[in-house]
Chain A
Amino acid sequence: GENVEQHPSTLSVQEGDSAVIKCTYSDSASNYFPWYKQELGKGPQLIIDIRSNVGEKKDQRIAVTLNKTAKHFSLHITETQPEDSAVYFCAASKGGSTLGRLYFGRGTQLTVWP
């Protein structure tokens, strides 16, 4: 099956700085890469996703980039705020008939200090 590696496991930044989380995947057939944010005591929530036919996607302060050749994708958060503090998970999927069979990274605990 797919193997998704995520780094770093913890990340601390000052409010206003940028944060970058990186993931690699092993299965070249994977074509869907969502990112989830998990706040304490809650389930993961989708914040952005990217498909293999797109190299970059942006939504306000968050952006995701994908390099299919190198099989890695990254989450970029600019102008970080304390409410961005959470655990972030990357995931990979082949979509289609394997819908929902997401393979998750191990998560990054992001702390934004005021």
Chain B
Amino acid sequence: DAGITQSPRYKITETGRQVTLMCHQTWSHSYMFWYRQDLGHGLRLIYYSAAADITDKGEVPDGYVVSRSKTENFPLTLESATRSQTSVYFCASSDGTGVFSPLHFGNGTRLTVT
């Protein structure tokens, strides 16, 4: 049961560089999400996707780009990384079969922008 996996687990990059965080799920869930977790802010939604080729912005989308060409993958790209994007990033998925389908989270990617 692979579930939902994120890679890499840790990443250090420099300001201005492009970096992509990967997310892969094996459940064929329709919905996928990206959250960032910062001390004092809890979890905030960056982007989400209801199906392949359908994405929408969350609370804090600026500086991020997503794509969903395949149901199982939902990469998050920081086009030009800034120090304020230093955070722990969590990918999540949901089957969406019910109005209140629970989210299943990956174990996160800790990103440091120097």
Contacts and interface: CB of A to CB of B under 8 A. Distances in A.
B102 A46 contact: yes
Interface residues of A, number: 27
Nearest to A44: B105
Interface residues of B, number: 26
Interface stretch (B13-21, B64-72, B77-85, B90-98): B90-98
Interface string B8-28: 000000000000000000000
Contact of A106 (B41, B99, B100): B41
B41 A99 contact: no
A100 B43 contact: no
B103 interface: yes
A39 to B, nearest CB: 10
Given A1-B59, A43-B92, A101 B45 contact: yes
Which interface residue of A32, A95, A104 has the most chain B CB atoms within 10 A? Answer: A104
